[in-house]
Amino acid sequence: MITLTERQSLILKAIVRDYTEGGNPVGSKSLVQELPMKVSSATIRNEMARLEDLGLIVKTHLSSGRIPSIKGYRYYVDHILKPEKVDSKDLKVIQHSLGGEFHKIDEIVAQSADILSQLTSYTTFTLRPELKDSRLSGFRLVPLGNHQVMAILVTNNGDVENQTFTIPNDLTGDELEPVVRFIDDQLIGLPLQDVLAKLQHEIPFQLAHYLQDPDGFLDIFGSVLSKAASERFYVGGKLNMFNYTTKSDPKEMQSLYSLLDQTDNLASVIGSPGQHIQVRIGNEITNDLLKDYSLITATYDVDQHGQGIIALLGPTAMPYSRMIGLMGAFQRELARKLLDYYRYFDE
Amino acid sequence: MITLTERQSLILKAIVRDYTEGGNPVGSKSLVQELPMKVSSATIRNEMARLEDLGLIVKTHLSSGRIPSIKGYRYYVDHILKPEKVDSKDLKVIQHSLGGEFHKIDEIVAQSADILSQLTSYTTFTLRPELKDSRLSGFRLVPLGNHQVMAILVTNNGDVENQTFTIPNDLTGDELEPVVRFIDDQLIGLPLQDVLAKLQHEIPFQLAHYLQDPDGFLDIFGSVLSKAASERFYVGGKLNMFNYTTKSDPKEMQSLYSLLDQTDNLASVIGSPGQHIQVRIGNEITNDLLKDYSLITATYDVDQHGQGIIALLGPTAMPYSRMIGLMGAFQRELARKLLDYYRYFDE
DNA sequence: TTTTAGCACTTAACTTAATGGAGTGCTAAC
DNA sequence: GTTAGCACTCCATTAAGTTAAGTGCTAAAA
């Protein structure tokens, strides 16, 4: 366990700040000017040498200034940084952007990714509150004429998922009614996960009593169901990547971009953060493509409706203090907004 | 009007081909080796000087080889190029990818953009058959419980658009019924454009007879309606841009990328191509961001269901012959697939 | 009149060399 | 423990030189 003297701590802090703001390695001479104590550059150099021995800062070459190492950022984040109180203007932006009317949870969550990316100029991810406890609360089949039927699935959280299908023969509402009744009787109230499980085994047999050819319907139902039960990350500010990437090789840019595009990868990258704000720096992220970036993740808690995730991807040299403050504020505001929203569906 | 001798034509063709394949300016010595006639490099140089006088080829600097100018590509495309017959493997890919089951026109059209981008390694755009003649053929309001209602709109083309709304008080199907009946009576069968127009004037008054507070409903109806009536380009292979862009400046990349992301811009860029395949090269495209690229556009014709658009964006140095052949094949296959699809909805 | 060989010339791209600036580590004195 | 001084290192930038590919032009050949 590393312990730094007060002065070393101040120096590390200044190096992180300078490098984060200016982007250039920081030398002893420039440090001496802005540090509160009055010592010579030689003294600073001595201290820097010690910080380097500890592995907290590194040189880019033998005679360069220093930049923070991953370990240095880590120490900074864990021991030095104090979360900045969120800027009141930023808070207004958040509140205003979340203040509007929304028709779906997913709209709110998707919009959140956009707001956050706008405020940070980085790339952001959001995941809606987890669906583990989602239960099937309604199922409709609406005949639309012309060989089309729309299947609509509603959960106890008020989520609605729908899909339109083309069927060989037109059906009337009456013909569909037994199926809907079967679902109402047997499946309503069950967790989506359980329904999904049953779909493999019991349901096909049971449905055979109601329908001659249940396969088509099973496809439909399964398709809407898995849509409703799948977890999708929303990504905000994908383009912002261009601002903070260190890569100039288009090839690497492309693979990075694909990573963000295929939202199923994101789950493994982001993982399941704990309750408080987590910062992963450089190679602490379990994905080689991201080893030069930093990832800040946090959950937000919507009481009995479970927890969602917000995350932020940026350069390792980012203003952590401001970002953590911002994430904290967003966490709270989003949770509040969703609680409001869910209030409709609670008794 | 420019006329070239046989030999000049061959030289231009070879320059276009070489440059397209190799990416380097083409010199007289390399040309002399691959041209069918046996002349010296000096002769080729003389001819090249003439082609340069005509503005068909240019030097990148005073003593470099030549590359085709915009005008040169233009001449090549107009007078020299013969569309390559589509590769049978490519055709299979197209047919197979379009062969599956689709639930919506938009799925087919979106998928088309992806197929085409995969085959070409460029960026592609598709637009569904135009909606001008789309008529409103059905409207449903499905109460989902928990303050939610889903509005569903169906057109005579079988397009389905839907949106879920949260409403202050729960309504039963019975309460919604007069509204739906009003629409059935007054608006079914009308072109969407007309309905959209009426929404501004007559409908609000008429609805007042049926509902105390028609505003909420008007919002809902208007929202679904404009969703159904809006034209959306689908974009395929946005990432492919990284392969063919000449830009290394991230800033420019970003604006280019935004252009493709905001699909409303695309309409003005792509315009309304004629019936046959159109090639626009470099500054012939009415957008400065694209002045270093080429755009191939074509309509596809689905009889009375109107025409859609397919388009392809790539470098000016692209294998036009192959691309045009490919576009032609795709045009036919997509039209066929959609005719099949629409057959369901025709009597 | 067209084609060709020959040659002087141009330019980009690459390599090498020179220079200046920012920063470091070390030593010896404070 | 701190500081001044200094030799040293490395990057970045500029300058100069070299090579390879290609051109235009001229004068002779076909």
Residue range A261-274, pLDDT digits in tens: 888 889 999 988 87
**Pair of tokens at residue B102:** 């689709």
Q: Tell me the average pLDDT of chain A.
A: 90
C chain positions with any atom within 7 Å of a protein CB: 3-6, 9-12, 21-27
B143 at A interface, C-beta within 8 A: no
Instruction: Tell me if the domain spanning B136-229 has CATH number 3.30.390.60.
Output: yes
Helix (H, G, I), strand (E, B) or coil at A295: strand
**A57 touches A31 (CB < 8 A):** no
Q: Using an 8 Å CB-CB cutoff, list chain B residues near A145.
A: 137-138, 154
Q: What per-residue confidence (pLDDT) applies to A284?
A: 96
Angle subtended at Cα A318 by Cα A312 and Cα A319, rounded to the nearest 5 degrees: 100
Contact B103 A344 (CB under 8 A): no
Q: Provide the chain B residues 31-90 that lie in CB contact (below 8 A) with chain A.
A: none
Q: What per-residue confidence (pLDDT) applies to A219?
A: 83
D chain positions with any atom within 7 Å of a protein CB: 2-5, 8-11, 21-26
Region B58-64: what's the mean pLDDT? Answer: 94
Domain ranges of chain B: 6-80, 88-130+231-343, 136-229
Give the class (CATH, top level) of B88-130+231-343. Answer: alpha beta
CATH architecture assignment, domain B6-80: Orthogonal Bundle (1.10)
- Measured CA to CA, the distance from residue B169 to residue B189 in angstroms comes to 31
Percentage of chain A with pLDDT > 90?
60
Nucleotide C9: closest residue by CA–C1': B63
Q: What per-residue confidence (pLDDT) applies to B69?
A: 97
Region A321-333: what's the mean pLDDT? Answer: 97
- The band of A151, judged by pLDDT with boundaries at 50, 70 and 90, is very high
Region A39-54: what's the mean pLDDT? Answer: 96
Percentage of chain A with pLDDT > 70?
97
- The band of A171, judged by pLDDT with boundaries at 50, 70 and 90, is low
A145 at B interface, C-beta within 8 A: yes
**pLDDT one-digit tens code per residue, B84-138:** 999 999 999 999 999 988 878 899 999 999 999 999 999 999 999 987 778 999 9
Q: What per-residue confidence (pLDDT) applies to B208?
A: 81
B162 at A interface, C-beta within 8 A: yes
B215 at A interface, C-beta within 8 A: no
Instruction: Tell me if the domain spanning A88-130+232-343 has CATH number 3.40.190.10.
Output: no
Q: What per-residue confidence (pLDDT) applies to A173?
A: 65
The alpha-helical segments, DSSP class H, found in B121-240 are: 173-186, 192-200, 202-208, 214-229
Closest alpha carbon to A192 in A141, A154, A219, A233: A154
Between A247 and B79, the more confident residue is B79
**CA of A61: nucleotide with nearest C1':** D10
- The band of A101, judged by pLDDT with boundaries at 50, 70 and 90, is confident
Highest mean pLDDT among A197-211, B203-217, B313-327: B313-327
Give me the CA B58–C1' C1 separation in Å, rounded: 27
A–B interface: beta-carbon pairs under 8 A: 93
- Measured CA to CA, the distance from residue A132 to residue A280 in angstroms comes to 26
**Number of helices followed by number of strands (H, E) in chain B:** 14, 10
**pLDDT one-digit tens code per residue, A218-249:** 888 898 999 888 888 999 999 898 888 877 67
Q: Which residues of B116-132 are buried (b: 16+ CB within 10 A; e: fewer)?
A: bbbbbebbbbbbbbbbe
In DSSP notation, B83-143 reads: PPPPPHHHHHHHHHHHHS--S-HHHHHHHHHHHHHHHHSSEEEEEPSP-TT-BEEEEEEEE
Give me the CA A27–C1' D11 separation in Å, rounded: 14
In DSSP notation, A155-206 reads: ETT--EEEEEEE-SS---HHHHHHHHHHHHHHTTTSBHHHHHHHHHTHHHHH
A305 touches strand C (CB under 7 A): no
In what helix (H) or strand (E) does residue B335 lie, and over which residues does it extend? helix B320-343
Has residue B210 got a pLDDT over 60?
A: yes
Has residue A347 got a pLDDT over 60?
A: no
Q: What per-residue confidence (pLDDT) applies to A191?
A: 92
Q: What per-residue confidence (pLDDT) applies to A57?
A: 98
Report the 10 Å Cβ neighbour count for A175.
Answer: 13
Contact A239 B261 (CB under 8 A): yes
Say which of B148, B242, B344 has its CB closest to residue A146. B344
Task: Tell me the nearest-neighbour CA distance from B105 into chain A, angstroms.
Answer: 11
**pLDDT one-digit tens code per residue, B130-167:** 877 789 999 999 988 878 889 999 998 888 999 988 77
Q: What per-residue confidence (pLDDT) applies to A41?
A: 96
A126 has which bridge partners?
A: A234, A310
Has residue A93 got a pLDDT over 80?
A: yes
